[in-house]
Homo-oligomer: A and B are copies of this chain.
Amino acid sequence: MTASLLEQLIEAFRVLPGVGQKTAQRMAYHVLEREREGGVRLSKVLGEAMERIGHCARCRDFSEAELCATCASPSRDTHLLCAVESPADRMAIEQATGYRGLYFVLQGRLSPLDGIGPRELGLEQLAERLSEDQVRELIIATNPTVEGEATAHYLAQLARQRGVRPSRLAHGVPLGGELEYVDRGTLSHAFGSRSEMYD
């Protein structure tokens, strides 16, 4: 006997982060009982997003178009480039600070044991952008974890070799924390008092 559509729906909800059997049941019953329209909209938008959202050719962030809205915007400061580990980090910075420069999304951090090296993070592409003359400062906003710090040092070296000044977010971001979950005030402060990196 195949699973009923309701059982399939409960199972399908479990792909979401932090959603176990009980929560999935609650979600399924909730949309069936009270949110039919919202459920239909979620289904449509999710299907479309899975199909159409890829990566921006320039900054590697998620994007529907070849270039994301930020990279395509003529009003951003092309002298500033901010390297972040994930799209969520990028969004956190965008929402918390008044930063008007551009981004580069690594989609990870250096982690040789997991087979994640410079190639996986698109660092060749980043190096090219740093050589392009326009970028004057590379703001390195990797997470303050061991791997994030290692990545930051690698990026700083990459920048210096190309005559670009590397900088790092100020302390204030709690060690071991994730940028995505830091409160806006702290993040804004840390972003504002970033400091230059020396050997």
Contacts and interface: CB of A to CB of B under 8 A. Distances in A.
A8 interface: yes
29 contacts: A4-B69, A5-B48, A5-B53, A5-B64, A6-B62, A6-B64, A8-B49, A9-B46, A9-B49, A9-B53, A12-B42, A13-B42, A15-B38, A15-B39, A17-B26, A17-B30, A26-B88, A26-B180, A29-B88, A31-B46, A33-B107, A39-B50, A40-B50, A42-B43, A43-B43, A43-B44, A43-B47, A43-B50, A46-B46
Given A47-B47, A86-B29, A88-B25, A52 B12 contact: no
B32 A42 contact: no
A107 B33 CA distance: 9
A146 interface: no
A51 B44 CA distance: 12
B12 A38 contact: yes
A35 interface: yes
Contacts of A44: 43, 47
A22 B96 CA distance: 13
Contacts of A6: 49, 53, 62, 64
A6 B46 CA distance: 9
